[in-house]
Chains A and B, each alone.
Chain A
């Protein structure tokens, strides 16, 4: 199963990671990741109701240049708010990596902003790259994730995927919301 389906929160172009998704300069403890603080500031400047109304499994749709100049804290903030995936017009490779390292897929899909509006149901298949508006049935195609990336997503992050691969018999979940090994 490589399908993600969720309710859309829609954002525009040039959403900075450090001065948009979160306010990096206001993160109280950069080293240990202050989860309550990161959750509280997630998209707060762009959609003030995000924090109160975001539900686990929601999907972020955004325009060009999403998450540029990023620190991983922005990925942690989205993940901890329950965001299941980001589907964006364009982003940079480093941001995709930082997000996938903690199990959050960022999918580059040109045309997605004309496919889905705020509140729509969107589905994204990581293996096929098919992005679908559930209500209208309209689709766009993104680059499929590789098998290795899907393993990381399934496991919830790079560390857990490595642990499962090396020691499947003893693997236990990396605790969420405590410390990020990033």
Chain B
């Protein structure tokens, strides 16, 4: 029986010729990647085991991304210190301190995410590395302890295939489509214990940033993980970043088995807004347009890449955000930050009255940009449950960078397409 790419990646890491969907196997992942937030529980686990060293420090990637500065009143400065000490003591070269960026971007930009590699991380949204053909499997507290023995168990996910056709209309991003996909699946267990393989002619028209956005949101459909085929665009990116480190170009076999198949025409997608507090509450922007907002935020592993910032700047150029709105923009990595500066995007944001924060998760989990009682936010974040960004009575709407930027200008939730059309008229 044929194997999917995900099965081939897992089989390689398990030292096997083939693996079966639903099977439990023992694997040696190529990398394990963790952040700082739960360091104390990671440490406690190591203490219980009675070991404070890892067997394969070369496979460990540690990133400070949730707490980009050790702020007054926050306890996380201890984790920054202890993680750094642990890395240095263990010979872990790949420790990336505050401001480096999110694990998702550190993995891609620094050439760790390569085709055919298996990465164990502490977050399912790191499936974004599937844009380069690497498979993310989210584990739990044992993410560091996995490297004591250089192995762990995992479930071989079922494979689901989502075929994408058509081209996104102006003003529409993969973020909008991701919100539709979550709406369609999050209340079912259809994609439970699955790896989504996104395929189809539409992929060629999507930038790597746009692909990573979709993959970073895939977990919220109920799937374990997701990836895409590696095309020339992805391969060029990998070759430029891999620093000669190996990778494995794999393809799904023609007779591979898919437990679920679906297809979507991207040309039918329009700007969406997900209404709190559930992730499946996506509606077309027209349904909620006009709702007054207090805060707008662009960032999170879904939308903190260069194309997202370019999109926001296309709306904000020459505009001022509404005086009632506080706007935060968080580049996803130091590289994205620097490139945004070089392209003049940061100036656009400053002129519009937005605040640019240091690269990291920042506002997405409420470390910064904390909401007060009754406040309304629209953001490109990943979650919208009560209390995620501060007060439990605040409300967090989710949308694309276009919708968030247009709403910041209007002071209310707004359709970005008129502003974008104006902007392109001005340019021509």
Query: Interface on A for B, CB 8 Å cutoff?
Result: 31, 64-65, 68, 72, 90-94, 96-98, 101, 108, 143-149, 152, 158-160, 162-163, 165-167, 170, 174, 179, 181-182
Q: Binary interface profile of B, 113-154, with partner A (CB < 8 Å = 1, else 0)?
A: 000000000001000000000000011111001001101111
Task: Kindly provide the distance from the CB of A174 to the nearest chain B CB, expressed in whole angstroms.
Answer: 5
Question: Can you report 22 A-B residue pairs in the complex whose CB atoms are below 8 A from each other?
Answer: A72-B141, A91-B193, A98-B140, A108-B193, A143-B23, A143-B24, A146-B26, A146-B153, A147-B26, A148-B152, A158-B145, A159-B45, A160-B48, A162-B51, A162-B145, A162-B148, A165-B149, A170-B50, A181-B41, A181-B44, A181-B45, A181-B47
Q: Out of A64, A68, A94, A159, which one reaches B48, CB within 8 Å?
A: A159
Query: Interface on B for A, CB 8 Å cutoff?
Result: 22-26, 40-41, 44-51, 124, 138-142, 145, 148-149, 151-155, 157, 189, 192-193, 222, 224
Q: State the CA gap A24–B307 with chains docked (Å).
A: 37
Closest to A146 in B: B24
On whether A93 and B224 interact (CB within 8 A), knowing A166-B148, A181-B41, the answer reads yes
List 3 tightest A-B contacts by C-beta distance, closest first: A181-B45, A159-B48, A181-B44
Known: A149-B24, A162-B145, A166-B51. 4 other contacts (CB 8 A): A94-B124, A96-B155, A165-B149, A182-B45
On whether A148 and B140 interact (CB within 8 A), knowing A91-B192, A94-B124, A162-B145, the answer reads no
B50 close to A148 (CB less than 8 A): no
B192 close to A92 (CB less than 8 A): yes
A181 close to B148 (CB less than 8 A): no
A93 close to B157 (CB less than 8 A): yes
A90 close to B189 (CB less than 8 A): yes
Task: Kindly provide the distance from the CB of A71 to the nearest chain B CB, expressed in whole angstroms.
Answer: 10
For B45, B51, B153, B222, the residue with the greatest tally of chain A CB atoms inside 10 Å of its CB is B153
The majority secondary structure among interface residues of chain B is mixed
Task: Kindly provide the distance from the CB of B132 to the nearest chain A CB, expressed in whole angstroms.
Answer: 22
Q: Out of B23, B45, B47, B140, which one reaches A97, CB within 8 Å?
A: B140
Q: Which B residues are CB-close (under 8 A) to A31?
A: 40
A94 close to B138 (CB less than 8 A): yes
Q: Out of A68, A92, A101, A162, which one reaches B141, CB within 8 Å?
A: A101
Q: Out of A68, A92, A98, A145, which one reaches B24, CB within 8 Å?
A: A145
B222 close to A182 (CB less than 8 A): no
Q: Which A residues are CB-close (under 8 A) to B157?
A: 93
Q: Out of B41, B49, B139, B155, which one reaches A163, CB within 8 Å?
A: B49
Q: Which A residues are CB-close (under 8 A) to B51?
A: 162, 166
Q: State the CA gap A90–B259 with chains docked (Å).
A: 15
Q: State the CA gap A160–B157 with chains docked (Å).
A: 27
Q: State the CA gap A122–B124 with chains docked (Å).
A: 33
Q: Out of A98, A146, A179, which one reaches B25, CB within 8 Å?
A: A146
Q: Which A residues are CB-close (under 8 A) to B47?
A: 181
Q: Out of B23, B26, B148, B193, which one reaches A92, CB within 8 Å?
A: B193
Closest to B21 in A: A143
A163 close to B149 (CB less than 8 A): no
A92 close to B224 (CB less than 8 A): yes
B49 close to A166 (CB less than 8 A): yes
Q: Which B residues are CB-close (under 8 A) to A148?
A: 26, 151-153
Task: Kindly provide the distance from the CB of A19 to the nearest chain B CB, expressed in whole angstroms.
Answer: 10
Q: Out of A92, A145, A146, A159, which one reaches B145, CB within 8 Å?
A: A159
Q: State the CA gap A146–B155 with chains docked (Å).
A: 10
Task: Kindly provide the distance from the CB of B381 to the nearest chain A CB, expressed in whole angstroms.
Answer: 16
Q: State the CA gap A166–B154 with chains docked (Å).
A: 21
Q: Which A residues are CB-close (under 8 A) to B193?
A: 90-93, 108
Q: Which A residues are CB-close (under 8 A) to B49?
A: 159, 162-163, 166
Q: Which A residues are CB-close (under 8 A) to B153?
A: 146, 148-149, 152
B45 close to A158 (CB less than 8 A): yes
Q: Which B residues are CB-close (under 8 A) to A182?
A: 41, 44-45, 140-141
For A72, A92, A144, A167, the residue with the greatest tally of chain B CB atoms inside 10 Å of its CB is A92
Closest to B55 in A: A166
Closest to A97 in B: B140
Q: State the CA gap A166–B52 with chains docked (Å).
A: 12
Q: State the CA gap A181–B41 with chains docked (Å).
A: 6
Q: State the CA gap A18–B178 with chains docked (Å).
A: 25
Q: State the CA gap A165–B157 with chains docked (Å).
A: 27
Task: Kindly provide the distance from the CB of B73 to the nearest chain A CB, expressed in whole angstroms.
Answer: 17
Q: State the CA gap A40–B142 with chains docked (Å).
A: 27
B25 close to A90 (CB less than 8 A): no
Q: Out of A94, A145, A166, which one reaches B50, CB within 8 Å?
A: A166
Q: Which A residues are CB-close (under 8 A) to B45?
A: 158-159, 181-182
B140 close to A101 (CB less than 8 A): yes
Q: State the CA gap A108–B148 with chains docked (Å).
A: 29
Task: Kindly provide the distance from the CB of B116 to the nearest chain A CB, expressed in whole angstroms.
Answer: 21
Q: State the CA gap A148–B150 with chains docked (Å).
A: 13
